[in-house]
Structure 1
Amino acid sequence: MEIVRPPALREEDPERLARPLGNDAQYLGQALSKPNMITTTENYQDGRLIGLHLDNWDKLIYGQKPRGRRRLALNLGPGTRYLVVGTLDAQAVCRAVHPEDYMYRYPSTEDYRKHVASGHPIRVYRIRLAPGEGYIAPTEYLLHDGSTEGQEHPSAAAFWLGHWSPGTLPSLI
């Protein structure tokens, strides 16, 4: 996972940012988050917040999960936002929840919920992203969500998927 500050993004062409990152860069769009939200990802079917979750764009089985595309997320502002990310990977959780047949499973958010419900803690970090900053992370492999908790201003974010090598964008850490 990387915390990055990409080149300045012009509002009229957000897809342009990912072009130098490689041919498989896919622009997913933008999301506006209200201020003071503990988590920001909405379930588009019912409008409720999902909370910490795994993405599943690539629909990968257990053994393939680490090979999923990474997500580039860029805070467009005007407010600060946070990345909330878990440290326990999807394969470890899947093995713990499904010890008999984990190799044939698709690790999911539900696996994390079962893992925590059975009394196992998961450590999470909250990482501050000022406007213009972002992250590149394996969001199909690590529990995550956005947050604007404690902020007075809304924050928009733009998202891309791709297979990017570490160091592709200027790193802040």
Structure 2
Amino acid sequence: MNLAIAHHDPAALIARCQTASVRTVDSDPTYEPGAVLPAGPWQSLTTALASRLMPTADTANGTLVELVRLPDGPAPTRLESVTDRLGDPDAVHLGQAASPANAVTTTPNYQDGRRIGLHVDNWDKLPYHSKHLGRRRLCINLGPGTRYLLLGTVDIQSICRTLHPDPVDRYPHTDDLRTYVTRGLPLTALRIRLDPGDGYIAPTELLPHDGSTEGHPDPSTAAFWLGHWPRGVLGSII
């Protein structure tokens, strides 16, 4: 398993995290063919898995998932300025995304509106050998509703190594994830609850991910940034 989530209190992670298997969809007109979704039913995160998710001394900052909140104090007057003091002067504000209530996954294909399911980002357009060096995404749930971060436990470099005898010249893609799941290879989905004001910093170029508002009656808007941030730049909520 490649996923690592920074946490000081396994019980706090367990309290806001569940797991499920995954599946692909091919006949749902609201999703792209082959989209990867959690299969359910959701199960409580076990103590053993929480322990395995703990980072090791070898976990690079850029591959780590952190669950965070903005510092206490006055709210920033402009969302664009949120990252001004987080250690990367070149961080980019990507904007906001409004998600409807009770959505299994939230990210649409902006060309036709169909949802894409679990996916990997490609903002940095990195090849296989440097995919782990991409910028991490900061996301803050602006509310009004609760949302989830969905994560896959196997990163896209490992998926490419499994699928392709010589992945060196490849550019890892969501299609590789879909092929991997179609072949029945092992992948577990996690969903992590993010209440309004909660957020994450995660290597979304590397890890299969999406948002979700499943089971919640209120919509949720998220704000996003990309940057190379050091570990612990924001306070942890777990």
Residue ranges of structure 1 left out of the alignment (5+ in a row): none
TM-score (norm. length: structure 1)? 0.96
Q: Which runs of 4+ in 1 moved over 3 A?
A: 8-12
* Identical residues among aligned pairs (%): 59
Paired residue for 1:13?
78
SS where residue 88 of structure 1 aligns? coil
Paired residue for 2:215?
150
Q: Would you say how many aligned residue pairs link Structure 1 and Structure 2? A: 172
Match for residue 80 of structure 1 among 132, 146, 157: 146
Give the Å deviation of 1:119: 1.5
Give the Å deviation of 1:16: 1.2
Paired residue for 2:188?
123
Q: What is the CA–CA distance in structure 1 between the aligned matches of 2:76 and 2:94, rounded to whole Å?
A: 15
Q: Is 1:66 the equivalent of 2:118?
A: no
TM-score (norm. length: structure 2)? 0.70
SS where residue 66 of structure 1 aligns? helix
Paired residue for 2:205?
140
Paired residue for 1:53?
119
Q: What is the CA–CA distance in structure 2 between the aligned matches of 1:126 and 1:169, rounded to whole Å?
A: 21
Q: What is the CA–CA distance in structure 2 between the aligned matches of 1:114 and 1:153, rounded to whole Å?
A: 33
Q: What is the CA–CA distance in structure 2 between the aligned matches of 1:40 and 1:117, rounded to whole Å?
A: 21
Q: What is the CA–CA distance in structure 2 between the aligned matches of 1:86 and 1:116, rounded to whole Å?
A: 11
Give the Å deviation of 1:108: 1.0
Q: What is the CA–CA distance in structure 2 between the aligned matches of 1:107 and 1:64, rounded to whole Å?
A: 10
Highest RCO, 1 vs 2 (Cα 8 Å, sep ≥ 6): 1
Residue ranges of structure 2 left out of the alignment (5+ in a row): 1-64
Give the Å deviation of 1:7: 2.6
The C-alpha deviation readout for 1:35-63, integer Å capped at 9, x for no partner, is: 00000001100011111000000000011
Paired residue for 2:173?
108
Give the Å deviation of 1:121: 2.6
RMSD over aligned CA atoms reads 1.2
